[in-house]
Structure 1
């Protein structure tokens, strides 16, 4: 796959979606011109467009656009004139964009850079005393801690986010955070507590018509995420047959606009199928994932692909050998592109 061509296409999609071209100028009346609501909305639409691109294509190539968008916001903050109310919104937008940069680096599997941007976002949230941004950052740091094999930190961070979220009265947000707690608890080996918190998460998700709506950044949380969380829980405790049931449901429920998640879910399903001794179907799903991977640039997804290849190499079956060879050839071609 031609990565330069992909990045060019990505920038084109960003422009079509409403994200200002990276080298362009903010439509302000001059370098020192006054910034108003229209300019703020333009910058916010740029961040929203980055969310859409990430959902579809993953964080690998999109992160460079996000970093440039953050630089643009910083430039406006430091060179333009605006009233105090606009200034606070610009600072908040910078914090939200830094958080999204962190997420994109996390997805690209560059965890040090992710930590750097999450630290910047948390500083902004603290400075502005913005509880919503602080909850988002704590939830994200919890996710990263669990991913990096620090489940105790993951649990403590999720609890800290949950404590702050309680006053918001949003069942959907509380459901997401309970799922983060459950993930950390399962990695800690506390199956009983993990099951309990995941059940809480599912119950809360059934009452999204009550209380306040979740913030926009939590829109991804729904049936597919909960099925996936349940599948991961059964994977951790070695019940691969049960994991397969939920991972199938996660893939079926996942909105097709989330291209990166569909690739990750299919590979995770393939892994569980092989572990459940359904090697032929597992190999089939692994090969089918290549169609998703042609559109996605995600370090996390490529790591999962490597896990599946290693697992197939351990299986004495023709379907496993053929699939592993095809996947390995794909990885080699992609690395050489």
Structure 2
């Protein structure tokens, strides 16, 4: 019986627009960054992978492929030979690390500069009279920001979002407008402030996030936008949880759930109940956590159409991942591992930051379930792609995982992860 064609890898080439030769070149470039030496990959290697002649590539190809596509080997269609752990790259010389840093930083600066142009911030009026078309132009900024947020992380977007907010605030103070446009303008400004607050939160800038959330809440009150207010309450609850203020997070989350506007939007209710489930789990209240998960599922079944841009991450994968987080907090590690693995399988390619996040969560669930080698292999996968997003929250989560795995430094796979993260500074 012949080898089975690797249609998953073939599909990724089509999705990312690579020819066989272009992918080989990209593998060699990524190998220089990750390993400090070329992989000598050619289009012949790529053809053999797709044809199924090679079902598990050598590590000098496998790690660059993970870096390029942001997928596990199995998600790229490769089949492990019995136990085939994903090895970390060997230690790179200091020069290679410096070259990598010089490669990454200009790209980040380019993203920040390019976003200002992409968002059309220069088209926000600074003088004159504002109309509804100007509000629509401001509103259109939000979906673009979140499209980049899913793949790049909040650290790449905070400055651009803050600049957009500054320009809208300037328009509010220096332009003229009618009463209806004023209300719409405050609502649009609140949306931007809430978005900038989320990016600051993800970037680890909690003081900035709090100030921006307060601005958003004030704008929501002035515009009488109840949905915006519920959104801000939800984000404040999530921030309180990050700061280990679990009971406060539950109280704030309950305030969001009980708002009339939140109750009218099943997308928002599904998210709020999921986050409440995690909160109840963290305080050890299993019954309430399970009730909140059931309510989240019921709300999600009522969703129709498309959610608001800031809720575009709320997919079945996200709901499953949050359920996994709740079971993890309850100490149900096996169930948490199963749910998080399912979330990773369902996760769409555009959610690159969430892929890193849930890969770390999967590794932690495996570790808590005493599957040390499997946990360390998942941790290596997370570390291999973590540098592709700018999220201090992700780095902190990876750092916590590293601290937990230090107890198992005698296990080869764990030692590999510890060495990998030591080299990369993760």
Q: Normalising to structure 2: TM-score of the pair?
A: 0.71
1:335 corresponding residue in structure 2:
none
Measure, in 2, the Cα distance between the counterparts of 1:186 and 1:142: 15
Question: Aligned match of 1:20 in 113, 120, 127?
Answer: 120
> 1: distance between equivalents of 2:251 and 2:278?
12
Correspondence list, 1:185-264, <5 A: 185-209=280-304, 214-264=307-357
Alpha-carbon offset, residue 167 of structure 1:
6.8
Q: Secondary structure at the match of 2:425?
A: helix
Moved more, 91-100 or 31-40: 31-40
Report SS of the residue matched to 1:314: helix
What does the per-residue CA deviation read over 1:111-152, in whole Å, with 9 as the maximum and x for residues that have no partner? 222111111111111122210111101111111112211111
Q: Are 2:424 and 1:330 aligned?
A: yes
User: Who is 1:83 aligned against?
Assistant: 178
Q: Give the Å deviation of 1:236.
A: 1.3
Q: How far has the Cα of 1:15 moved from its partner?
A: 5.7
Of 252, 261, 274 in structure 2, the residue corresponding to residue 179 of structure 1 is 274
Residue 230 of structure 2, aligned match among 129, 132, 135:
135
Superposed displacement of residue 34, structure 1: 2.5
1:171–1:214 CA contact under 8 A, matched in 2? no
Q: Distance in 2 between matches of 1:9 and 1:117?
A: 25
Q: Do residues 149 (structure 1) and 149 (structure 2) align?
A: no
Distance in 1 (CA, whole Å) between partners of 2:227 and 2:243 is 25
Report if the CA contact (8 A) 1:60-1:105 is conserved. Answer: yes
CA distance in 2, matches of 1:26, 1:172: 32
State the partner residue of 1:278: 371
Unaligned runs of 5+ in 1: 333-337
- Residue 146 of structure 1 aligns to a residue whose secondary structure is helix
Deviation at 1:35, TM superposition (A): 2.5
Deviation digits for residues 277-300 of structure 1, max 9, x if unmatched?
A: 222222222122234323201011
**Consecutive unaligned residues in structure 2, runs of 5 or more:** 1-100
Specify the alignment match of 1:293 in structure 2.
386
Judged with a 3 Å threshold, the aligned counterparts in structure 2 of structure 1 residues 304 and 27 are, in CA distance, closer, same or farther, namely closer
Residues 267, 170 of structure 1: alpha-carbon distance in 2 compared, 3 angstrom cutoff: same
Larger CA Rg, structure 1 vs 2: 2
| CA-CA distance at 1:190 after TM superposition | 0.7
Counterpart Cα distance in 2 of 1:15 and 1:149:
35
Tell me how large the CA RMSD over aligned residues is.
Answer: 2.1
Please show how residues 97-176 of structure 1 align to structure 2 within 5 Å. Answer: 97-165=192-260, 168-176=263-271
- C-alpha displacement of 1:237: 2.2
Change in Cα spacing, 1:113 to 1:195, as seen in structure 2 (3 Å) is: same
Report the CA distance between 1:171 and its aligned residue.
2.4
Instruction: State how many pairs are aligned.
Output: 324
Partner Cα distance (1:68, 1:213) in 2? 27
TM superposition score normalised by structure 1:
0.89
Please say if residues 194 and 212 of structure 2, whose CA atoms lie closer than 8 Å, have aligned partners that are also in contact.
Answer: yes
CA-CA distance at 1:254 after TM superposition: 1.6
Q: Compute the displacement of 1:213 (Å).
A: 6.7
* Shift in Å, 1:58: 0.6
Distance in 2 separating the partners of 1:267 and 1:109: 18
In the alignment, which of 112, 133, 138 is matched to residue 11 of structure 1?
112
Partner of 2:84: none
| Equivalent residues of 1:182, 1:194 under 8 A apart | yes
| Deviates further, 141-150 or 129-138 | 141-150
